[in-house]
Amino acid sequence: MNVARSFNNWRKFRQTVAELGRMSSRELQDLGIDRADIRSVARASIAR
């Protein structure tokens, strides 16, 4: 079960990074996210 959870967390992290990376700087700014913070936002998304 732990391996499956780790894989799902990794997949969710990568998906979040990819989705936010495709956004323009303006769109990220509207969300209150700096481009440099994408990875930390993605890490926070798997903690929920």
User: What range does the domain containing 38 cover?
Assistant: 3-45
* pTM for this model (two decimals): 0.86
* Chain position carrying tokens 């990819």: 18
Token duo for residue 20: 């936010």
How many separate domains does the chain show? 1
pLDDT at 1 > cutoff 90:
no
Q: What counts of helices (H) and strands (E) characterise the chain?
A: 3, 0
- pLDDT single digits (tens) 3-47: 999 999 999 999 999 999 999 999 999 999 999 999 999 999 998
